[in-house]
Chain A
Amino acid sequence: MDLIWFSILPGIANGCVYALIGIGFILVRKTSGVFNLAQGEIVILGCYIFYSIGAGLGLNIWLSIALSVGVGLLFGVLIERGLMRPLYGQPLMAAVIVTLALAMLLEGVLSIGWGGDFLAAPRLFPMEPMFSLGGAVLSYDQGAIMVFTAIIFGLTIVFFKKSRMGIAMMAVSEDQATSQSLGIKVSRLVSIAWAIACSVGFLGGILITNISGIHVSMVEVGIKAIAVAIIGGFESFGGLLIAGLLVGVIESMGVAFIDPYVGGGSIRDITAFVLMVGVLLIKPHGLFGWERIERV
């Protein structure tokens, strides 16, 4: 029983990060139809920028988080302006291949800029446990992840329910051409979607730097977030959050119960992907997605 508690809490924390990064992926997908496969590299870029601002310049931690997220917003707009806008009207596959090329480009740039070593991020919170539950402890880092995720999800839901821009974005995700004819500036909204995508990617990465350190292998976090977004379907943020928590918890359970029977590696590296393939086979539109009828 203890083992279950031990794995559920970190699992929830990891799942929150996946869901958080998944927001960006879903927004880009819904507004422009593009799958942003550079998400993994964007997450690491965020961590490195945070490292450079926080540890390199020695600024206040919270200020450096805010600055990195600001850089993320700019970076997203830059990607949309520079790489996605010239491809309007081209097949989606071209845009997806461009995001793959962007991933490669960033990989190269990151390895030139920061090298391949593990970097220790500046500490956000004290190392001691926040509270313990049934023998399992929750560290401040994990607690902070949950709190941040709750805040961001709350903000996102309010944004899409109440604000003019959020509602316009919903309209664009429903039908691009119709919303354009209603006077919504689609290209600007796509730009904003990319900005949000990059900034939540940055934020998600920064939040787990204290747990995992900063390293190129963090690219997996972003890619798992893509898997989570697929599992949740593309219709609601609640579905995304549930899918994220589900994947996080199953992953931790796998580490606790399956890993002893596996050779050297850990099942955690592939759990999300196996789940994604399984979900795509059984419910092709994700757990909470709707099937859309398509016409020739």
Chain B
Amino acid sequence: MSLPCGVYNETYNKDAAILRTKTHWVLAAGWIAVIIIMPFTVSTTVLSWLTLVGITILAALGLNVTTGYCGQLSIGHTAFMAVGAFTYANLASMGLAWPFALICAGCCSSLVGTLFGLPSVRVKELYLALTTLAAQYIVAWVIVEYFGGDVGIVPPVLTIGSLAIKGGVDLYYFCWFFTLSGTYLVLNLSRTKIGRAYKAIRDHDLAAKAMGINIGFYKVSSFSIGCFIAGIAGALWVIWIGKADVEHFTISQSIWYLGMIVVGGAGSVAGTYFGVFLIRGLLEVSTIVSGWIVETLSNLVPARISSAIPTIVVAAVIMLFIFLEPRGLNNRWLKFKESYRLWPWSHW
């Protein structure tokens, strides 16, 4: 990362800090302030959407650890979310307190993720993608057969003390608390030994091995960590929507998550935020627009296009990004920052 002219990192701590400059501090504080103030300025529909975005960001951050940092393509991310979702729903229905249920959700998901990540010790890149694709089918099947996925599970309403988290502002803060914690976790991870090992493996795994990195261990652990976050996100999803249902964790959703990572720029937290906002926004807007098209042109087009158009739009956007901007929105953001810094002599 290049620093502006005249700014030096004088200590190692300063070099490794997450927030390195005053501008960083201002931006971070501003962003958190926006998140806190947001619920009081928007309608309940938008608030619910923002909660969904928070959960999605958390899930995408999990995928970012596995695919973005460590370079292990995972196509079955929602399968691991489903594990978390159903663990939470089952345990909460049995009467377990929510913090324990949430942690169990993360751990179970992490366990299943580790299991499906195990082939990564022996097989490379694309074969691994197929293992995760298999996970998508196997996990859904097992959940439907043995963990109440056939009818879905409605967990009891979550309460903190005497406050019931049913929706609206409470749920928004609850979810975004986890999103911000997850963001901090992932940012922190990227500057530790583990994070550096992940990036080395992503860039060239044989070279990383030659440098003495235990690539099998780190590849599997990227699944453990990514799936832990996914499990928590799955549990939050259940809390948000009020029901655990395998229909919410299909392969299309997994591809959407992958798309968010690609559109945002793999391996960057800011990129994950951009990607999630863009794809979730596109899904929302295209759903509204196609609903409007079906309503006004009801005699010309069949009603089924309202569910197909968002899929097509998102798929097309993912393709366009891979063709035109493979490094994602984060690259544009970096270029923008560069040009802002060099103004009025910016060359981008």
Measured CB to CB, the residues of A under 8 A from B are: 35, 37, 83, 86-87, 90, 92-94, 96-98, 100-105, 107-109, 111-112, 115-116, 220, 223, 226-227, 230, 262-265, 269-270, 273-274, 276-277, 280-281, 284, 294-296
Contact = CB atoms under 8 A, between A and B. Distances in A.
A135 B150 CA distance: 36
Contact of B137 (A230, A263, A270): A270
Interface of B: 71, 73, 75, 116, 118-119, 122-123, 125-127, 129-131, 133-134, 137-138, 141, 144-146, 150, 204, 206-207, 210, 252, 255, 258-259, 262, 302, 304-305, 307-309, 311-312, 314-316, 318-319, 322-323, 326
Given A262-B145, A277-B131, A104 B326 contact: no
B315 A263 contact: no
A96 B126 contact: yes
A265 B149 CA distance: 11
A273 B138 contact: yes
Contacts, number: 136
B118 A83 contact: no
Contacts of A37: 75, 129, 133
A276 B118 contact: no
Contact of B314 (A96, A104, A269, A294): A104
Contacts of B319: 83, 98, 101-102, 105
B282 to A, nearest CB: 13
10 contacts: A87-B322, A87-B323, A90-B322, A101-B322, A103-B255, A223-B137, A226-B130, A273-B134, A276-B131, A294-B206
Nearest to A286: B127
B141 A35 contact: no
B133 A223 contact: yes
Top 3 A-B residue pairs of the complex, sorted by shortest distance between their CB atoms? A273-B134, A108-B312, A104-B315
B206 A104 contact: no
A280 B123 contact: yes
Contact of A263 (B73, B75, B146, B314): B146
A107 B305 CA distance: 12
- Could you tell me the dominant secondary structure of chain A's interface residues? helix
Given A104-B255, A104-B318, 19 more contacts: A35-B130, A83-B319, A86-B323, A87-B323, A94-B326, A96-B129, A98-B319, A102-B315, A105-B315, A109-B312, A115-B302, A227-B130, A264-B150, A269-B141, A274-B134, A280-B122, A280-B123, A284-B127, A296-B210
B259 A277 contact: no
A63 B141 CA distance: 40
A98 B316 CA distance: 10
Contacts of B125: 92-93
Contact of B322 (A94, A109, A276, A296): A94
Contacts of B133: 37, 223, 226, 273
A230 B119 contact: no
B251 to A, nearest CB: 9
A280 B131 contact: yes
B204 A296 contact: yes
Contacts of A265: 141, 144-145
Per DSSP, chain B at the interface is helix
A103 to B, nearest CB: 7
Given A96-B126, A227-B130, A108 B309 contact: yes
A86 B311 CA distance: 23
A191 B73 CA distance: 25
Given A101-B259, A104-B255, A265-B145, A273 B137 contact: yes
A107 B252 contact: yes
A103 B258 CA distance: 13
B144 A100 contact: no
A226 B304 CA distance: 29
A116 B303 CA distance: 12
A219 B258 CA distance: 20
Contacts of B150: 263-264
Among A103, A295, A296, residue most surrounded by chain B Cβ atoms (within 10 Å): A296
Nearest to A86: B323
A42 to B, nearest CB: 15
Contacts of A98: 318-319, 322
Nearest to A266: B141
Contacts of A276: 130-131, 134
A284 B130 CA distance: 12
B119 A264 contact: no
A97 B127 contact: no
A226 B133 CA distance: 10
Contacts of A87: 322-323
Contacts of B314: 104
A109 B308 contact: yes
B137 A280 contact: no
* Residue among A87, A93, A103 with max Cβ neighbours from chain B (10 Å): A93
Contacts of A226: 130, 133
Residue in A104, A263, A269 with the greatest tally of chain B CB atoms within 10 Å:
A104
A105 B73 CA distance: 20
Contacts of A83: 319
Contacts of B126: 35, 92-93, 96
